[in-house]
Amino acid sequence: MAIRLGDTVPNFTQASSQGDINFYEWAGDSWVVLFSHPKDYTPVCTTELGEVARLQPEFNKRNVKTLALSVDDTESHLGWIKDIEETQKLTLNYPILADGDRKVSDLYDMIHPNSLLNLTVRTVFIIDPNKKLRLTLTYPASTGRNFDEILRVINSLQLTDKYSVATPANWKDGQDCVIVPSIKDPKELQEKFPKGYIQVKPYLRLTPQPNK
Ligand code: BEZ
């Protein structure tokens, strides 16, 4: 059965380009972006894996580890990583799970046979330090993902956890946030939002981004 938002994600141990990984131990207290791609030595995947390597400083700032997956084996991953490093001009410094036996792909429902027989589609899981699933999205094999959007969602989730704000449509870092509807007590509002807020409707209250 598919893993749903708010579920505790299952643990696994699997081989990777950086040795065996026990997922819970490897993740530790970090957030994790776990993302699957269809196949090694394919063009869109090559650009995606390179982009995630390029964005490592942004993931690190947010306490996020990244973990790729495809159903190819470790030897294939190691050869392909050389190509990624050469063509994308960077060092690939995070692991790729070698899920040849489809253990993790099946556990996380990453194979959608009516779209791509036997290969993983482009799924992303954002998992928080409590191992809860906070976002999932699935792209077709032919469309490379927008990893700036993944960082934007992580910013939003971390703001919600720390400051009780949500983020409106097309929100970008630095823009006004919305106060979560559950906060109604005037004293709590004053304490949590010292910069004040604008009440557009009783359920729509805008406040400056709390951590800026
Ligand atoms: C790619 O990564 O380029 C790709 C993989 C599978 C199908 C289509 C494109």
CB distance 95 to ligand 1 below 6 Å: no
Summarised one tens digit per residue, pLDDT across range 75-94 is 999 999 999 999 999 999 99
Which stretches within 32-109 are classed as H helix? 43-54, 56-61, 74-88, 103-107
* SS3 assignment, position 47: helix
Asked if 177 and 144 touch (Cβ cutoff 8 Å), the reply is no
CB distance 88 to ligand 1 below 6 Å: no
How many whole angstroms from 142 Cα to the centroid of ligand 1?
5
Mean pLDDT of 108-114: 94
Mean pLDDT of 178-193: 95
E strands, 75-173, where? 96-98, 122-127, 133-139, 165-166
CB distance 47 to ligand 1 below 6 Å: no
Tell me: pLDDT of 190 over 90. Answer: yes
How many whole angstroms from 40 Cα to the centroid of ligand 1?
9
Q: Which residues are catalytic?
A: 45
pLDDT recorded at residue 17: 98
CB distance 44 to ligand 1 below 6 Å: yes
Asked if 134 and 126 touch (Cβ cutoff 8 Å), the reply is yes
Percent of the chain with pLDDT over 70: 100
Could you tell me the pTM of the whole model?
A: 0.96
Q: Which atom of ligand 1 is nearest to the CA of 43?
A: 3
